[in-house]
Structure 1
Amino acid sequence: MKRTLWLVVLLGALMLILAGCGNSDKAEEPAKEQPAPQEQAAPAAEVVAKGEEVYKASCSGCHGQNLEGLVGPALDKVGAKYSLDEIKGIVEKGTDKGMPGGLVSGDDLDAVSAFLSTKK
């Protein structure tokens, strides 16, 4: 009797294990590929040139004439770290680390962001 009971318990456990390993009716979804980051087109040369002028007038006091950093961090490689849109957001809104927002706006914001995005 004991032997039969253990055999039934063992077979029941085996059936549960095998049932969990079965195929489901639902087709397995293929792994979703992450889209490759899109390269943004290089900004126009005249926009970059205007952005350099805006930078020298509005940003160089904290970030240095040569983007080397003074009170603010160096920006000589900022385009390698952030996308154009990210740079624009930082310049527009500022940061919680002392960078004030709203120093430039409109076309000047677009131009200085384009200029900084080329610094890689």
Structure 2
Amino acid sequence: MKQLWIIFALALLVLTGCSSETATAERPTDGEGLYKFGCLSCHGENLEGTVGPPVTNMKAKYSEEEIMKLINDGVGMMPGGLLSEEEAKTVSKWLIEK
């Protein structure tokens, strides 16, 4: 019986965590915040790349419009449409400055 209560308590904690502030948190509006929101898991905290390629020195490789197209349309394993058009524009500008 004691094990049942422990399992119940742990399940309750997990479910509470799933419905915490992240579900109601506002989406960031700045380039860095949007990058962390939608890109960091694949491209790394320092733009160094993890699962996805590094996104350092983008200004030398692409124009702002080309970066925006990559974000909107996706490429290879990267899905498009993770950010809105306006968010993609904001992240593109931010990446050009990095």
Partner of 1:82: 62
Matches of 1:50 and 1:99 in 2, distance apart?
Answer: 21
**Greater C-alpha Rg:** 1
Partner of 1:105: 84
- Unaligned stretches of 5+ in structure 2? 1-28
Q: Counterpart of 1:79 in structure 2: which amino acid?
A: K
Matches of 2:50 and 2:66 in 1, distance apart?
Answer: 22
Q: In proportion to residue count, which structure has more strand?
A: 2
TM-score using structure 1 length: 0.55
Q: In proportion to residue count, which structure has more helix?
A: 2
Matches of 2:30 and 2:53 in 1, distance apart?
Answer: 22
- Unaligned stretches of 5+ in structure 1? 1-48
TM-score using structure 2 length: 0.67
Q: Percent identity?
A: 46
**Structure 1 outlier segments of 4+, above 2 Å:** none
The CA RMSD over aligned residues, in Å, is 1.3
